[in-house]
Structure 1
Amino acid sequence: MLYPLFFEPDYKERVWGGTMLQDKLNKSIPFKNTGESWEVACHDNGNSTIRNGSLQGKTLKEVVGTSSKELLGYEIDDNDKFPLLIKFIDAKDKLSVQVHPEDEYAKLNENGELGKSEAWYILDAEPGAKLIAGLKDNVTKDDFVKALEDGHLEQVLNEVEVEAGDVINIPAGFVHAIEDGILLAEIQQNSDTTYRVYDWNRVGLDGNMRELHVDKSLDVIDFEGKHSKDIVPGLSIKDGDNDIIYYVANKYFSIEKLGLKGTKKEDTHNKFIIYMCTSGCGEVIHNNTRYSFNLGDSFMIPASLGEFILEGDASLIKTYIPDIQKDIINELESAGYTKEDIMSRVRISQ
């Protein structure tokens, strides 16, 4: 029988990384340029390891292989790969300007890999810190190519100033970059496909210029401006003393923030749930057993567990694969929000 699973992350050294994962999240980082902590990962390029209970020392991939239905739920096919990749990212320096493909393009051009839609929750940001979020209004493909060739790509990129607590949605096709001085949580499809279109003329840790993927980037960039470039406002509801803010919901994942103040009863409804603790501490209670969590911990509630309790004083990012109507729209309408409220303040895509 499964139980709440806690993970040892897989750390990634990056030329733009730093020490904020240690300084802000109490992580034991292995590199002075630690850019990423793959918190819940089941990918050929990174695998997190279970740190608690009878499965301690096993990788998430091993548990998926032996207990797929129990872990993930019966709506996920046995042949499907683990659907999500959950990270913390420390951008001491700017990341490359990049874009990700949709599933169909990735399947054809990246050996069957998934596409990559993602979203970011800002944990910490230096004053004035910015993200690149999409293109400026009315930028055409020709405008983009000319700016790239002239070495002035910044002129066509849309910048957004951010602070702790902000959320931004990054669908496939959306040009983006994390700039310096930002620590964030990233929820994404389980894919490592990234097309770098511009890298600030920077060399990598090996001293060589990093590879760019300009042609593929131009194939997949959304030049029609289909996606919002704004910070996601979100909508909040109360559950006793607890606050829940709904931010993003699509066919790949949802993002909610739980402000836990005391006790909250939860139910998996046969869906796995992942939580990231971004402040405070608490406990998961299941079958009269208590599992402690602290700042920086990420943990997974297997789909088969059913009812469980969260207890403590903490902020938690919650993600799962939603039934958008039932899990998001109905909940918000029951709290008194109109469809117009929901569609304007939560990034929902079917």
Structure 2
Amino acid sequence: MAEPVYLRSNQPPDRFYQGGAKIRELRGEAAPGDRVPEDWIASTTTLFGEAETGLSRLPDGRRFVDVVNADPEAWLGPDHVAAYGPDTKLLVKLLDAGQRLPVHLHPGQPFAHAHLDRRHGKAEAWYILDGGPVHLGFNRDVDRAELDAWVAGQDVDAMLEAMHTVDVVPGDSVYVPPGLPHAIGAGVFIVEVQEPEDLSILLEWKGFAIDGAAQGHLGLGFATALEATDLRGWPADEIGQLVIRQGLGAGTLADLSKEYFRAERLDISAAAELDAGFSILVVIDGAGTLTPANSAASPLAKGDTVAVPFAAGNLKVGGSLSLVRCRPPQP
């Protein structure tokens, strides 16, 4: 029977933006340096254009994707496999924005399939551990010619002026639909739940350690890549529907995200039982124990990240701790 697996930090090196200290603080072990702002948890995908970088490995050295593919029903459950095959449908990250991220967007599945031959697009959601400003969507309709001019001239002030700015605090969450231009502000620290792809189209790169003119369009050229952009002006109340303030349990993320993934913040003061199913646990505070069905208890503490297979059955979680449980969509 497959058992829960405690996963070590998996931080792709030399990213083009700064961060990493908050991941080290949370996990107590992580890569050194100031350009390791992401920890890819239970990853079955790679960085765009890479053969291995980004894939998670178990403590015994095996690749997580290979372990899942070897016994998908044990890991994902028969209903999931019947609906999606051995695809986990999920990638979880810790992301520490040591500086404001550039304005960018992620394509949806139809665009990714048509232009990149990818199974998924990249919807994502952020559970906020440390807050600050985030930029979400345009606040007015933007003409494609105007967008082209902003990108070509790297007119960042104009881009940001045309976007909604939302202040988020710990315990909030934000859903980012495919196509929506966005940027995470400096100092924001998140648990990110997303479709398992690394597909980013940069609208901004000035001042960042990347050649955006060459690398910011997924090899498609901006004439094609920018077709993935949601250019419409989002009313403030619609942006508000993407942001959940202090959500718990099933209400942690916006309902719109459920077709792509699920996540719930759980605060456990003594004991709780979690239903069976593939999930990724990120412990954000406290300490306790994790007990799968018909197995012994193991310690669970702040900074632990655990891949839980369907075959582990119902889980008993004891102690005093807070965690984010991330799951694929309901089949």
Same-fold call, TM cutoff 0.5: yes
Give the total of aligned pairs. Answer: 308
Residue of structure 1 aligned with 2:244, choices 211, 230, 233: 233
Secondary structure of 1:21's counterpart equals helix
**In the alignment, what sits opposite 1:3?**
3
Matches within 5 A, 1:108-123: 108-123=114-129
Larger RCO: 1 or 2 (CA < 8 Å, sep 6+): 2
Give the unaligned 5+ runs of structure 1: 238-242, 325-350
Deviations 1:283-305 (A, max 9, x none): 11122401212212111221122
In the alignment, what sits opposite 2:66? 62
- Note if contact 2:205-2:212 (Cα within 8 Å) is conserved in structure 1: no
Partner of 1:338: none
1 CA distance for matches of 2:135 and 2:320? 33
CA contact (8 A) 1:275 1:317 kept: yes
CA distance in 1, matches of 2:87, 2:244: 32
Equivalence for 2:18: 17
Gaps of 5+ in 2: 48-53
Match of 1:187 in 2: 193
Matched to 1:130, the amino acid is: P
The CA distance in 1 between the partners of 2:22 and 2:259, in whole Å, is 32
User: 42-51 vs 134-143, which deviates more?
Assistant: 134-143
The 5 Å alignment of 1:147-296 reads 147-149=150-152, 151=155, 152-204=158-210, 211-213=215-217, 214-225=222-233, 228-230=238-240, 232-233=243-244, 245-248=251-254, 249-268=257-276, 271-286=277-292, 287-296=294-303
Q: Per-residue displacement from partner, 1:231-268 (whole Å, max 9, x unpaired)?
A: 6236867xxxxx76432342221121101111001221
CA separation of 1:147 and 1:196: change in aligned 2, threshold 3 A: closer
Identity %: 23
In 1, the alpha carbon distance for the partners of 2:175 and 2:247 equals 17
CA contact (8 A) 2:135 2:160 kept: no
Partner of 2:51: none
- Counterpart pick for 2:99 among 82, 93, 108: 93
- Give the conservation status (yes or no) of the 8 Å contact 1:99–1:217: no
| 2: CA distance, partners of 1:179 / 1:16 | 12
Aligned residue in 2 for 1:321 = 328
One-letter code of the match for 1:119? A
Q: Does 1:304 align with 2:311?
A: yes
Of Structure 1 and Structure 2, which has the larger fraction of its residues in strand?
1
Q: Tell me the TM-score normalized by structure 1.
A: 0.80
**Amino acid paired to 1:37:** D
The match for 1:30 is: 32
Q: Judging changes above 3 Å, is the alpha-carbon distance between structure 1 residues 194 and 148 closer, same or farther for their aligned structure 2 residues?
A: closer
Contact 2:11 2:30 in 1 (8 A): no
Q: Kindly report the root-mean-square deviation, in angstroms, between the aligned alpha carbons of the 2 structures.
A: 2.5
